[in-house]
Amino acid sequence: MSFNSTPYRTQPFILWVCACVIFFTGCVASEPPVESSSSQTESSASSIAPSISSSSEFSSSTSPSVESSSSTSSSVAGPELISTRPSDGAKQINVGGKSRSYNMYVPTSYPTDKLVPLVLRFHGLGGNGGQEISTTGYREMADQEGFILVAPSGSNGSFGGAWNVGTCCTSDRSVDDVAFVKAIINDVKNVANIDDKRIYATGFSMGGGMTHYLACHASDIIAAFAPEAFDLLKENVGQCSPSRAVPLLSQRATNDNLVIYNGGEDCLTGVCINFLGATATNDVWKQKNQCTNQSQNNNGCQINTQCTDGVEVGLCTTNSGHSPESAQRGWDFMKRFTLP
């Protein structure tokens, strides 16, 4: 049965399907998830602690740097820069013989004489890049900070656009969304002055699941991660092998009635998956980054500040239900880290 955005009220079975649609989307009926730019705009106040010994969890010794400048643009020599401003809107690329799409937002503050960060924002189940680029609070952040914002569109799943996070949720299980992300980055770099060391990933609900998945499988090209309303899955956490220590800030609501804070099995999408839960997911990332117990608590966030190579791992606990979290908080965390 294909997903349709029109609400039905006459058949109980259809009502059940509509209930499933809100799983990972945080919206009701046909409305896409909307993140209020005014919600939770407090920034992460954690400081960077000295590095500790290298972790055997990682397959390389590369370590992230900490961005000390308040500017998010880097001056470089003129010949290396693209002098024209890239265009907004929907883009099409071919990945593994499949046509894929993404939406790009170029803020009016975009400079043509400097390198800028790139932020990848992933939608929830049933969404698409066009909706996400219009509703996410990261659009306002892009206007303020001058970075390029990209919202990819997932492949077809049971209820619309979905991401292949290993155990679910695309209909075509051969879809390689990590390769898709890498292709997007290369495509954007062809038209925009992107700083390779400042590429970031964030997402809501199942888009948060894709963000976790990229932290596991694409830490060589993405500097920091900020997932929302999703956790690691028991089914594939054993295959999570980042090539380096990864800065990651998760935002989770204790009253989320779709992705339960304490974790557990869920079969609403037709494929049963088992969430680790917010605290257990945070513990996994602390273990993989060999964090000590030293942490800072600020505005509902517990940030472990002493981890391998100076990265930080944090969990922000809210009471916002299954809805997008603070873009300000996510961006303030991510922008402090760069690839080596």
H or E element that contains 315 = strand 313-318
Q: Residue 26: its pLDDT value, please?
A: 44
For the segment 196-223, the average pLDDT, to the nearest whole number, is: 98
The whole-number pLDDT of residue 20 equals 37
Cβ 161 vs Cβ 154: under 8 Å: yes
Is residue 25 over pLDDT 90? no
- 315 has pLDDT over 90: yes
Task: Return the exposure string of 23-32: e unless at least 16 CB atoms fall within 10 Å of the residue's CB, then b.
Answer: bbbbbeeeeb
pLDDT for res 167: 80
Q: Which pLDDT score is estimated for 6?
A: 34
Q: For the residues 141-165, what does the mean pLDDT come to?
A: 93
Average pLDDT of 225-230? Answer: 98
Tell me whether residue 22 is in a domain: no
The reply to whether 37 falls in a domain is no
* Biggest CA-to-CA distance, the chain: 64
Assign 340 a pLDDT band (cuts: 50, 70, 90): confident
What's the length of the chain?
A: 340
Tokens linked to 125: 């189940």
What is the pLDDT, as a whole number, of residue 63? 53
Q: How far apart are CA 138 and CA 143, in angstroms?
A: 9
Amino acid present at 157: G
Query: Has residue 60 got a pLDDT over 80?
Result: no
Neighbours of 186 (CB within 10 A): 12
In a domain, 300, yes or no: no
Report residue 311's pLDDT band, with 50, 70 and 90 as the boundaries: very high
Query: Does pLDDT of 206 surpass 50?
Result: yes
Query: How far is residue 132's CA from residue 150's CA, in Å, rounded to a whole number?
Result: 9
Measured CA to CA, the distance from residue 124 to residue 179 in angstroms comes to: 19
For the record, the structure tokens of 86 come out as: 């890239």
What pLDDT does 252 receive?
Answer: 98
* 38 domain-assigned: no
Q: Compute the chain's Rg from CA coordinates.
A: 19
For residue 35, pLDDT beyond 80: no
> Residue 64's pLDDT band (boundaries 50, 70, 90)?
low
**Is the Cβ–Cβ distance between 242 and 224 less than 8 Å?**
no
Q: Report whether pLDDT(118) > 50.
A: yes
Question: Containing domain of residue 177, as a range?
Answer: 56-289+312-338
Q: How far is Cα 330 from Cα 277, in angstroms, rounded to an integer? A: 20
Query: Percent of the chain, pLDDT > 70?
Result: 76
- What is the secondary structure of 10-35 as a DSSP string? S-HHHHHHHHHHTTTT---TTPPP--
Residue 129 pLDDT more than 60?
Answer: yes
Q: pLDDT value at position 74?
A: 57
Mean pLDDT of 146-158: 94
- Find the CATH number of the domain harbouring 197: 3.40.50.1820
Nearest alpha-carbon partner for 208 in 236, 181, 231, 227: 227
Residue 88: what pLDDT? 95
In the predicted model, is pLDDT for residue 42 greater than 60?
A: no
Three-state DSSP at 212 gives helix
Residue 72's pLDDT is 58
Assess whether pLDDT exceeds 60 at residue 41.
Answer: no
Mean pLDDT of the chain: 83
DSSP secondary structure code for residue 37 in this structure: T
The residue among 16 and 142 whose pLDDT is bigger is 142
Q: What pLDDT is attached to residue 169?
A: 83
Q: Which of 39-53, 61-75, 174-188 has the highest mean pLDDT?
A: 174-188
Mean predicted confidence (pLDDT) in 36-63 = 39
pLDDT digits (tens, 9 = 90+) for 252-295: 999 999 999 999 998 876 788 999 999 999 999 999 999 998 89
Our count of domains for the chain comes to 1
Residue 298 bridge partners (DSSP): 301
User: If you average pLDDT over residues 157-180, what whole number do you get?
Assistant: 88
132-163 core/surface letters (b: 16 or more CB in 10 A; e: else)? bbebbbbbbbbeebbbbbbbbbbbebbbbbbb
Residue 171 · residue 89 · CB < 8 Å: no
Residue located via tokens 């989770």: 252
Question: pLDDT band at residue 157, thresholds of 50, 70 and 90?
Answer: confident
**How confident is the model over 150-175, as a mean pLDDT?**
89
Q: Is residue 28 part of a domain?
A: no
Place of tokens 């370590």: 63
Domain contains 222: yes
Q: Is 78 helix (H, G, I), strand (E, B) or coil?
A: helix
0.85 surpassed by pTM: no
Residue 253: its H or E element = strand 248-253
> Is residue 137 domain-resident?
yes
Mean per-residue pLDDT, 9-23 = 36
DSSP state of 305: -
In a domain, 17, yes or no: no
